[in-house]
Amino acid sequence: MPVFEYVAKKTSGERVVGQLAGHSTQSVVSELESKSLVPVSVREQTGVSEKGVRVSIRAMSTFYRQLGELLHSGVPILRALQLLARSKSNPKLGAVVGRIAEDVADGEGLAESMSKHPRTFPTIHIAMVRAGERGGFLEEVLKRLSMFLHRQAELRSTILSSMIYPIVLVVVGTIVVVSVMIIFVPKFRSMLEGIGTLPLPTRIVMGASDLLTEHGWVVLVAAAVLAGFVLWARQQREFREWASRQSLRLWIIGPLISSTAVARFCRILGTLLANGIPMLQAMTISKEATGNAVMIEAIETATRSVQSGETLAEPLAASGLFEEDVIEVIRIGESANNLEEVLVSIAETIESRVDRLLSTAVRLLEPLLLLLLGATLLFIILALVVPLVLLSAQAGG
């Protein structure tokens, strides 16, 4: 029997929240009325936790766009939330929106209600909505937030789609090499028994084959331990900072990571400033949203400098992550008092540059992976064939 969550009111006006099991919504409503309770909302449990659920960026973008359009059309916010809560395209998000609607019906603000569901609504979203509520431009904030998330989703989609083919090449190449080592290499062992001392490449191939065929479980355990260590290390700040610094030194990949982090920081900070968030608060929020430990450290330094009365451009320039032309544009934006517009413009420019860098990296990566796979297979073949040729030559001599 399904369990329903309900919100009801006593005759005295006191709000009551609880759960009841029932065959349908109507049966729960009838049971509440029999207890002299007036049902406000009755909803079947969907497995949504009190802290909300994780929702895709595109789904959140659609939610903010639809909410903004409803408000622009004159629909009251409570009615708009109730309509979106009935959405069939994303029931879990609908359940969270339904809870927000209940809180708004009780007199809470939209941002305050959203803050109760941190898994669904990040700090940056809540801060922008709160600024929109206080400033009386919530519709504009929702529109900007929807566009911000849409562009973020597009950039992520571009990166992921560009990496699909290289990942397929790596997976297929690994399967081919492992299959050769397990199936074909052992068949050559009896043929090579007549040779006294095998060449070093042959010994390497034979040793790798023996490791996979006779001690495959050791390889699997070692891989599992390594994966567990990496997952643990990623939770350590020192390791994240070290990995971030090392990744920035990689050829092609380093500039790509750096440009992506700068673009994300500029877009987030510019969007927050454009929606009335104070500079220090905006920098604190954008710090964690960049997703790069080195960038986080640079923003922390810049925040302290701005707090002491300095400009934003100088500490960013000292970090070494921002190119000179970007720093110069930020200086101009600070002088002209239109920093929010400048930052968003910088983000758009860098995102276009990231697209070009990504295309170049993928074009270079594909032939490199094919060459690596071909060289590996050629090494295995030569390691097995050359001793047989030498043995044949010795027998013929």
The count of structural domains within the chain is 3
In degrees rounded to 5, what are phi and psi of residue 20? -145, 145
Check whether residue 86 and residue 141 sit in a common domain: yes
Check whether residue 259 and residue 314 sit in a common domain: yes
Note whether residue 359 is domain-resident.
no
Note whether residue 329 is domain-resident.
yes
Check whether residue 70 and residue 40 sit in a common domain: no
Contact partners, residue 320, CB within 8 Å, separation at least 6: none
Check whether residue 80 and residue 35 sit in a common domain: no
CATH number at residue 286: 1.20.81.30
Note whether residue 273 is domain-resident.
yes
Check whether residue 30 and residue 68 sit in a common domain: no
Place of tokens 């669904």: 120
Q: Which of 148, 173, 198 is the last residue of a domain?
A: 148
Check whether residue 107 and residue 23 sit in a common domain: no
Q: Which of 96, 122, 148 is the last residue of a domain?
A: 148
The letter for the amino acid at 203 is: R
pLDDT per residue rounded down to tens, the chain (397 residues): 456 777 777 776 677 777 776 666 777 777 887 887 777 777 666 555 556 678 888 999 999 999 999 999 999 999 999 999 887 778 888 888 988 988 898 888 898 899 888 888 888 888 888 888 887 888 988 998 898 888 888 878 877 887 888 888 889 999 999 998 888 888 887 777 666 677 888 888 888 888 888 888 888 899 899 999 988 887 787 887 788 788 888 877 788 888 888 888 888 888 888 888 888 888 888 876 676 778 888 888 899 988 888 889 989 998 888 889 999 999 999 998 899 899 989 988 988 888 787 777 778 888 888 899 999 999 988 888 888 777 676 665 5
Q: Identify the domain containing residue 78 by its residue range.
A: 57-148
